[in-house]
Structure 1
């Protein structure tokens, strides 16, 4: 894949493209302003504190833009990453050395994904699975904020404790917090688009909610926020926590990679460019590795911030780096003001984020598509909310793959049941008719999957009974063959030989022939008069052979 940067003379892309400087600076400034309330909210929701969210947006945003492969992408903390990180933070008791060891390791794994060119495989996750876990993450984000809307903190981590804490919060509300939360929700859900070009809705809610809290105190606020540069965190873990750290790191790496590459596709569609998947993974990995070393929460490509950046004129890596510098200037100067932000404001902003994360566009149209896709999406959503992300994605991918293989196998079995394959020419149909049912042609119709292999021999055997004397196996549309399919072909040949029938091969590529000879050398005939380039030739040879033989005598 080519980089999204403008090509320089000689065919190479410049590392920095200054041709769109004004658009990049304005796009980065706008994205940075939008990222401020989200970074604070994600940091607070993660358990590591709002300042960790800001530094996450700075480190991941800067280094992912500097070394990544999507010019207009803006990176930082995202809902999916925060959900996993918050669970890890709770599971490890908030121990910085353990928690951020997982973040560093996740970054290293992402770099490994990029170096090993896994970018193309990350994008193979089926859409219903992606829709299911993204919608599930949206539900989790909303669930974790429900108690905060009423001025309370959810008890314990996870979705179920968050839901069970809601009745108590509703029965004992902090009315000032409820009022501020209601105002925040109203602003973020109804903020006019014509104003959003100048002041984004989340930023307006943050400022207005904080000002109201200053004049009408009583709602819980963030409190003291550290200012200045972050301290270095030395990652470490022991044998007792290694499994938790490794599992969380892998989930963060996979989730961050999927999230980032999906956002890259959105950026491609908007800018008419093409991102470099593996380079993007390396950039994201570097950003998360450095973020973990300084106690910042992990991040990924952020769709909303990327869209805002592009719409504001951002096109190159300079825009993403500018977004990080804007946040750096804010965090070094406005820390004391941020301490007055109410929890209810950030909770309201995150409820909107959670709502936007839910794939409403697919949910509204899901009933029009295949029922299996809808069932798969609902299953993955449920597993994401009530079990964990890695289980949800793993189960979803496995079930989707099995369903695809089953459909492919059914189509392949159906193709061998045709008396004359649909692609047969008039000449081939005539030749088959002249053979009088004594020749049976089997067109495999595509790659022989292991899903079809189990039933293939049975279906050929059932069709090739009676007076059939010659079986023609057409491999013209079989580009490759695995061991399961080899065993099925071997069974077909052996059954034919036992029944006194001849087997002709046609259209077999060198690769398929080599595999058959390696694994089924004894069964595959070696004589050239039974291997043909086209099935027309095989049918002509079969007809010639039958003409030299007397018709079979009917049984008495």
Structure 2
């Protein structure tokens, strides 16, 4: 049930007002960077900011256009030759995808993306934003796309507009060096926007120009034959990227407010916001870390703060659009360069040499794929490689235990039975969940450690909570090897869940005896040996996997 708390009304209003002021220059800059224009940035900030706060699962979060989302939109703008209606259709579809993600409970899985992957694609996005703005800082309008901007760079460097460059760099310096004491009243990005615009009035530099004012018009989704798959692909990427971006910001908000967000509800809220944004001509958005932090530090804790932030921007749209028309492109480029620099994970890059090399290599790989290929490939490859590396580590830990073969069992009664077997019983006690990672080498390790004189092979599953099909198939191979060598096989300690998996793929054959305890399995082994020979003395072995 939707609840709006008014217990912190003053703090929420203050936080929302401050966040709205901070969001203004970013919304304008990101709107221009997307290719759809400054008003699209403002409309997106209003729609996503209001509805994500109203329906989302992170009360203190401020949502709106973000760098990662704009990178995808800018690429789509170039691919669709500026077809605004199709781009807005992608935004609407992205919102619908996010609503579906929330309903299906996908939020809990998105948070499982490994940190090196997140760091790599976020840093890659930061690099893309900077690359796309270098040409504008030099006084040019480079072609769309990262590669186009890089290829155009030599031409831009050969013909630098030093007035534009000075204005853009000056804006960047002000945004970074604005005194913290003044930042309480006027945020650095807003100060840079105002000062840069005032200075530009005495210069001849490109400006935004006429900006429409008033309420937005409705843009219904349209589908063009031959481009539908491109639109849906972009929408899916926007949905995934926005979900990751938002849930990461939700974690930041949790740490600051000592609360716990609802991941799936947050996705539904973000989805509603993006759907509305596309319908009114706004760009896609997500949870914005910097604006959320500003909101919380200014006293915002509940939904009213995010809704207030959106209403502040709406008031600006209705009354101050003519002033925004005077903003130079160079000033927005300077602000965007700061956005890009802030997105790059400098903290991890500084400490990367002290951590595992594989994680750092994965981060660099994802960064490179993000910049030079595309975001979905980068994240997909990163997640798969990280998962395989983790599975390999866990499998190695399981298989390494095979080398630890204690001379005696802990239980005196069990140990007495094992010694009585005279080396004719080989026992393997598997430890922990058995999965496909260890399955390939499991049978090999067991074969290496079974004594030739063993007449009975005991597989102890007392410490195994679950097995998967791959591991069960490996157990079936061990069973077949034992029968081929003339050995009897006994299984002990298997839970009902483990038995179910073993039975489902016929690893438990009729002539394989199964017991609840290891003591019962050893007693059965002695009876088998007694039936086969005279029970000569020897040593038993326990192999622990």
Q: Same fold (TM over 0.5)?
A: yes
Deviation of the 1:432 alpha carbon = 4.6
1:159 and 2:146 are equivalent in the alignment: yes
Q: CA distance change for structure 1 residues 148 and 464 in 2, over 3 Å: closer, same or farther?
A: same
- Match for residue 136 of structure 1? 124
Q: CA deviation at 1:88?
A: 0.6
Cα distance in structure 2, aligned partners of 1:39 and 1:255: 18
- In 2, Cα distance between equivalents of 1:427 and 1:184: 80
Aligned counterpart, 1:538 = 521
1:47 to 35, 51, 58: 35
Give 1:167 shift: 2.6
Indicate whether 1:97 and 2:90 are aligned: no
Tell me the CA shift for residue 481 of structure 1.
2.2
- Aligned equivalents of 1:296 and 1:49: distance in 2? 9
Q: Counterpart of 2:321?
A: 335
Structure 1, 77-86 or 469-478: larger mean CA deviation: 469-478
**1:71 and 2:54 are equivalent in the alignment:** no
2:541 is aligned to: none
Question: Residues 388 and 438 of structure 1: is their aligned pair in 2 closer, same or farther, counting only changes over 3 Å?
Answer: same
State the secondary structure of the residue aligned to 1:165.
Answer: helix
Q: Any conservation in 1 of the 2:420–2:537 contact (CA below 8 Å)?
A: no
Residue 390 of structure 1: aligned partner: 376
Gap regions ≥5 residues in structure 1: 1-12
Is the partner of 1:285 in helix, strand or coil? helix
With 169-178 and 131-140 compared, the bigger mean Cα shift is at 169-178
**1-structure distance, mates of 2:420, 2:338:** 71
User: TM-score under structure 2 normalisation?
Assistant: 0.94
Worse-superposed segment, 313-322 or 480-489: 480-489
Measured on the aligned residues, the alpha-carbon RMSD in Å equals: 2.1
Moved more, 217-226 or 186-195: 186-195
Q: Where in structure 1 do 4 or more consecutive aligned residues deviate above 6 Å?
A: none
> Residue by residue, what CA displacement relative to the aligned partner does 1:288-341 show, whole Å, maximum 9, x if unpaired?
001111111000000110011111111111100000000001111110111111
Q: How many Å separate the matches in 1 of 2:355 and 2:172? A: 33
Alignment partners' CA distance in 2, 1:368 and 1:428? 47
Spell out the pairing of 1:79-118 with structure 2 (5 A cutoff).
79-118=67-106
- 2:158 paired residue among 171, 175, 190: 171
Deviation at 1:484? 1.6
What is the match of residue 6 of structure 1?
Answer: none
Cα distance in 2, alignment partners of residues 230 and 450 from structure 1? 55
Q: What is the TM-score when the length of structure 1 is the normalising length?
A: 0.92
1:449-470 deviations in Å (ceiling 9; x for gaps): 1122122112111211412222
Give the length in aligned residue pairs.
537
Unaligned runs of 5+ in 2: 539-545
Deviation at 1:197, TM superposition (A): 1.9
Alignment partner of 2:224 out of 231, 235, 238: 238
The aligned counterpart of 2:389 is 403
**Residue in 1 aligned with 2:176?**
189
Quick one: structure 1 residues 386 and 402, their matched pair in 2 at CA, closer, same or farther if it must change by over 3 Å? Answer: same
How far, CA to CA, are the matches of 1:142 and 1:423 in structure 2? 64
- 8 Å Cα contact 2:426/2:456 also seen in 1: yes
**Does the CA contact (< 8 Å) of 2:422 and 2:535 recur in 1?**
no
The match for 1:518 among 504, 509, 512 is: 504
Contact 1:267–1:306 (8 Å) recurs in 2: yes
Q: For residues 79 and 264 of structure 1, what CA distance do their matches in structure 2 show?
A: 17
Q: Could you tell which deviates more after superposition, 457-466 or 477-486?
A: 477-486
Mean Cα deviation higher: 481-490 or 288-297 = 481-490
CA distance in 2, matches of 1:520, 1:136: 49
Structure 1 match to 2:215: 229
1:188 and 1:71 map into 2 onto residues whose CA distance is 28
The C-alpha deviation readout for 1:59-96, integer Å capped at 9, x for no partner, is 00000000001000000000100000110111111112
The answer to whether the aligner puts 1:550 opposite 2:534 as a matched pair is: yes
1:211 matches 2:211? no
How far has the Cα of 1:425 moved from its partner? 5.7
For 2:385 and 2:527, locate their aligned partners in 1 and report how far apart those are by CA, in whole Å.
49
Q: Tell me if the contact between 1:417 and 1:459 (Cα under 8 Å) persists in the aligned partners.
A: no
Report if the CA contact (8 A) 1:419-1:440 is conserved. no
- Cα distance 1:424–1:188, how it changes in 2: closer, same or farther (>3 A)? farther
Question: Residues 121 and 423 (structure 1 numbering): CA distance in 2 closer, same or farther, change over 3 Å?
Answer: farther
SS at structure 2 position matched to 1:444: strand
CA contact (8 A) 2:101 2:268 kept: yes
